[in-house]
A and B are shown apart, each in its own frame.
Chain A
Amino acid sequence: MPKITFIEHDGTVHTVDAELGASVMETALRNDISSIVAECGGGCTCATCHVYVDEAWLERVGPPSPSEDAELDAAFDVRANSRLSCQIKVTEALDGLIVRTPSYQGR
């Protein structure tokens, strides 16, 4: 089972098991990572599951789709490595992925 590490803005580190095919957002919710809000439940319509992908993983995770990039307009402190975690699917290739959460998800 791939592992994903979430580093919250206050420095708290969670390394958790992720189910293949689930999204990174779902993985966060199942593990009670409260800085992922996911108000819309994975619909790519709320921008409250914003994460920063660790630079070393950027290439493997890839860029946001045009609709995801548009939804990032509703996030704050958007950076070059910003993604919405509901749109990142867990694959074997992402075993060890590190993402950081922003200090504010809009609520």
Chain B
Amino acid sequence: MAQERQAAIVGIHEYPLRVAPGVSAMNVKVDSIRAALDDAGLKWSDIDAIYDAQDGEAGGGLQLAAYLGLRPTVLDTTQVGGSSYEFQAAHAMRDIAAGKCNVAVLSYGSTSASNRVAIGTGGRGGPATWATNMETPYGATLIANYAMVKQRHMFEYGTTDEQFAGISVATRHHAMRNPEAVKAMTDLQFVGVNEITPQDVLDSRIVADPLHLLECCMISDGGGAVIIASAEVARNCKKPPVWLIGAGEATKYRENGGDITTSAGAQSGPIAFGEAGVSPDEIDIAMIYDSFTITVAVCLEDLGFCPKGEIGAYVEGGRLAFDSGEGPALNTDGGGLSSNHPGMRGIFLLLEGARQLRGESTSQVPDAKLAVAHGNGGLLGGTHTGGTVILAKD
């Protein structure tokens, strides 16, 4: 392959609990960083770059270095919602290639479940802006925003509820093989911790038409950490490196006359695949931000797995299951739908992508070589970001 291999994921950790009362977001971050360093065989003082999505309670990037007790030479506080970690991984690739740092740490901690944060169905706060003053009076919940994308997709392309449900079915299939996901669903008191059928999805209550409950991600506690290192450091780590070989970043927003069924991924995807020198049909593992079924549908199209509007036919027949023999395997950890979604899922896309390319997944695809992690942050039917990262086995 032609692509340069200058930076790799060398250490990973996913915080095991999804309900962790009495634990702070900072605790989750630090416990995860320590475990990820141990996974890599690196020590605390090796860290020379901190990437932080301002998720801890102590003031984000300004405070994290002090809390950790580190003096990094790179401090990146990119916060673009759920896609923050794909953006940060892209920045770590650049910073390492530029010689600014050798050991970068990305971390996430959240206590959304224990704090009863109504992410999808509550209101949005903050000061009045040119945009909020035009939207707040209408009570558009986050879920309603995504639902409007699904509504338009169904209208424009004839995509059916049954086809969308296939995405929920595939991720639940994977979740049932992941003990942490099973515990998550149990601790969060899911009705029916078991495999599901498309009919189960259709029979679940509608939260915002046309999105059913089983098309929506959970709200959990949780977090994790990723250590990204230079090639020189990576060669001496405990586990085989998982190379970052391409990345793309993009934004999209409501525009007069715009197409709501096309996301920022249509811009970030080609950049990432181009840089990596690979195409979607070579991808074994698709780690796609599954806040909702519609997010996966739109992003798979935009990344080029199938033409725009054809996701319904593409997913029919169950190709997204890890054991379908067709691929790509979707969200083999169980996804945000059935394993882990404390609010910003982007880090888990990198974690499971890396597990697959190391051969450590609970739904392992034999000889997986290439993965894509695509994060979508913000509102799919409004202002959002797309971050795409291509990962390669050593």
Q: Do A and B come from one complex?
A: no
B interface with A by C-beta (< 8 Å): none
A interface with B by C-beta (< 8 Å): none
